[in-house]
Amino acid sequence: MRKFLIVFSFAVFFAVIFSGQKMYAASASPNLYLNGTKLNPPQPPTIVNGTTFVPVRVISESLGYRVDYNKASRKILIKSDEKSLTLSLDSAVALIDNRKVNMPSKPLIVKGYSMLPLRFIAEQFGLQVSWDAKSRSVLLVNPVVTPPSNAPGKNVIQNIVMSPDNSITLSYLGDVTYSTMYLQNPDRIVIDVPNASLDNGFNGFVNSNDPTTFTGSIAVNNPLVSQIRYGLYDDKTSTIRFVLDMASSAAISGVQNKEQKQIVFTLKPSDTVPTPKPSRKFKVVIDAGHGGKDPGAISASRSKMEKTFTLAIATKVQALLSKDSNIEVIMTRSGDTYPTLTDRTNLANGVNADVFVSIHANAASSAAHGSEVFYLHQNSKELAQIMHNNIQAMVGFYDRGVKTANFHVIRETNMPAVLLEMGFISNPDEEKKLFNDSVQQTMAEAIAVSIKQFLKL
Ligand SMILES: [Zn+2]
d(CA 7, CA 244): 54
Q: Is 188:243 a contact under the CB 8 Å cutoff?
A: yes
What pLDDT was estimated at residue 46? 84
Ligand 1 centroid–CA 457 distance in Å is 29
Ligand 1 centroid–CA 170 distance in Å is 46
Q: Provide the residue type at 55 as one letter.
A: P
Catalytically active residues, by annotation: 421
Q: Provide the residue type at 178 as one letter.
A: Y
Q: What is the DSSP string of 199-230?
A: -TT-SSEE--S-TTT-EEEEE---SSEEEEEE
Ligand 1 centroid–CA 171 distance in Å is 47
The region that residue 370 occupies, defined by phi over 0 for left and psi between -120 and 50 for alpha, beta otherwise, is left
CA atoms within 13 A on the CB side of 76: 30
Ligand 1 centroid–CA 80 distance in Å is 11
The region that residue 138 occupies, defined by phi over 0 for left and psi between -120 and 50 for alpha, beta otherwise, is beta
Q: Which superfamily does CATH assign the domain made up of 10-141 to? A: Copper amine oxidase-like, N-terminal domain (3.30.457.10)
What pLDDT was estimated at residue 239? 84
Helices (H), 113-179: 118-124
- Predicted interface score ipTM higher than 0.90: yes
Phi and psi torsions of 124, nearest 5°: -60, -30
Ligand 1 centroid–CA 380 distance in Å is 19
CA atoms within 13 A on the CB side of 100: 3
Rounded to 10 degrees, the C-alpha dihedral 90/94/99/104 comes to -120
User: Which CATH class name applies to 155-269?
Assistant: mainly beta
d(CA 43, CA 21): 17
Q: Which residues contact 16 (CB under 8 A, 6 or more apart)?
A: none
Q: Domain extents for the chain?
A: 10-141, 155-269, 282-455
What pLDDT was estimated at residue 123? 77
Please name which of 367, 304, 293, 278 lies closest in space to residue 333, comparing C-alpha atoms.
293
Q: Is the link from the previous residue into 104 a cis peptide, with omega within 30 of 0? A: no
Neighbouring C-beta atoms of residue 62, cutoff 10 Å: 18
Q: For residue 442, what is the enclosing H or E element? A: helix 437-455
Ligand 1 centroid–CA 296 distance in Å is 5
Per-residue pLDDT of the chain (457 residues; tens, 9 = 90+): 544 333 333 333 333 333 333 334 334 788 888 777 778 887 888 888 778 888 877 777 777 677 787 878 888 888 877 778 888 888 888 888 778 888 888 888 888 788 888 888 877 777 777 777 777 888 777 764 433 344 455 788 888 888 888 889 999 988 888 888 877 778 888 898 888 888 777 776 566 555 556 677 787 878 888 888 888 877 777 888 888 888 888 888 888 888 889 999 988 887 654 555 556 799 999 999 999 999 999 999 999 999 999 999 999 999 999 999 999 999 999 999 999 999 999 999 999 999 999 999 999 999 999 999 999 999 999 999 999 999 999 999 999 999 999 999 999 999 999 999 999 999 999 999 999 999 999 999 999 999 999 999 9
Long-range pairs for 326-329: beta carbons < 8 A, 24 or more residues apart:
326/277, 326/278, 326/281, 326/282, 326/455, 326/457, 327/281, 327/282, 327/283, 327/284, 327/451, 327/452, 327/455, 327/457, 328/281, 328/282, 328/283, 328/284, 329/284, 329/286
d(CA 287, CA 357): 6
Q: Which superfamily does CATH assign the domain made up of 282-455 to? A: Zn-dependent exopeptidases (3.40.630.40)
Ligand 1 centroid–CA 27 distance in Å is 41
Neighbouring C-beta atoms of residue 204, cutoff 10 Å: 19
What pLDDT was estimated at residue 20? 35
What pLDDT was estimated at residue 141? 77
Please name which of 337, 338, 334, 340 lies closest in space to residue 316, comparing C-alpha atoms.
334
Ligand 1 centroid–CA 8 distance in Å is 20
Ligand 1 centroid–CA 337 distance in Å is 15
d(CA 160, CA 172): 9
Ligand 1 centroid–CA 126 distance in Å is 21
Helix, strand, or coil here: 297? coil
**What does DSSP say about strands 188-193 and 179-183: parallel, antiparallel, or unpaired?**
antiparallel
